[in-house]
């Protein structure tokens, strides 16, 4: 078995080649044998549809990484990590949220929410508010300082995202949205191994 640190060349087509280290994902696609794979015979073993699927995966992964790095750099420049920003942005746009539900809304493990909320509370951007009807529930509430902060950076954040996406027409954006939703839903609806 080849170790994770070794470079495995993925031959996507005659023009593009990437190394495993370029991708930052934890699974390796085995074509026939590692020797054939490393010797560049992978294209001969795959049909065009599989090659296209792998290329799409790589392009999608690289695009995600680029957009993420670009947006995270801006967020970190303003003293937050991406998760803190996501929580603050959620509270700003959606209002108070039960702590137990924040993780699902921003795609974060529930165990990490307490840590993030603690950090935002120390910065005085949010506060915990007990639910009047159910003592088991605690809400995260954005403070005036938190609102002022997010209002000072969110317009530039959204403009930067718009600038990235402006290489696509409105129709291309809508097609991308629908296609990516379709991919995501196909995974969540498929039977688990």
Alpha carbon distance 101, 110 (integer Å): 8
Q: What confidence tier does 40 reach under pLDDT thresholds 50, 70, 90? A: low
**What is the pLDDT at residue 21?**
39
What does the pLDDT average to over 27-41? 42
Q: Does residue 64 have a pLDDT over 80?
A: yes
Per the confidence metrics, is the pTM higher than 0.95?
no
- The segment(s) of the chain belonging to CATH 1.10.10.10 are 61-193
**What is the pLDDT at residue 170?**
97
Q: Is 34 helix (H, G, I), strand (E, B) or coil?
A: helix
Beta pairing partners, 138: 130
DSSP letters of 119-174?
A: HHHHTTSEEEEE-SS-TT-EEEEE-HHHHHHHHHHHHHHHHHHHHHHTTS-HHHHH
CA distances to 91, 144, 166 from 150, in Å? 10, 10, 23
Which tokens belong to 74?
Answer: 């801006």
The CATH architecture assigned to 61-193 reads Orthogonal Bundle (1.10)
Say which residue, 113 or 143, is predicted with more confidence. Answer: 143
Q: What confidence tier does 42 reach under pLDDT thresholds 50, 70, 90? A: low
Q: Is 149 exposed, middle or buried (0-12, 13-18, 19+ CB in 10 A)?
A: buried
What is the share, in percent, of the chain residues with pLDDT greater than 90?
Answer: 57
């Amino acid at each position: 078995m080849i170790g994770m640190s070794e470079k495995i060349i993925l031959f996507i087509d005659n023009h593009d080649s990437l190394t495993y280290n370029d991708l930052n994902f934890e699974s390796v696609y085995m074509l026939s044998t590692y020797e054939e794979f490393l010797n560049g015979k992978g294209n001969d073993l795959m049909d065009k549809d599989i090659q296209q699927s792998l290329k799409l995966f790589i392009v999608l992964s690289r695009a995600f990484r680029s957009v993420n790095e670009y947006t995270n750099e801006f967020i970190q420049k303003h003293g937050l990590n991406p998760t803190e920003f996501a929580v603050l942005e959620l509270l700003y746009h959606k209002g108070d949220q039960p702590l137990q539900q924040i993780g699902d809304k921003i795609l974060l493990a529930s165990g990490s929410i307490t840590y993030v909320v603690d950090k935002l509370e120390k910065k005085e951007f949010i506060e915990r508010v007990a639910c009047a009807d159910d003592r088991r529930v605690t809400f995260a509430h954005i403070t005036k300082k938190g609102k002022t902060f997010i209002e000072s950076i969110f317009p530039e954040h959204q403009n930067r995202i718009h600038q990235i996406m402006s290489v696509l027409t409105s129709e291309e954006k809508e097609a991308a949205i629908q296609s990516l939703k379709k991919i995501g839903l196909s995974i969540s609806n498929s039977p688990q191994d």
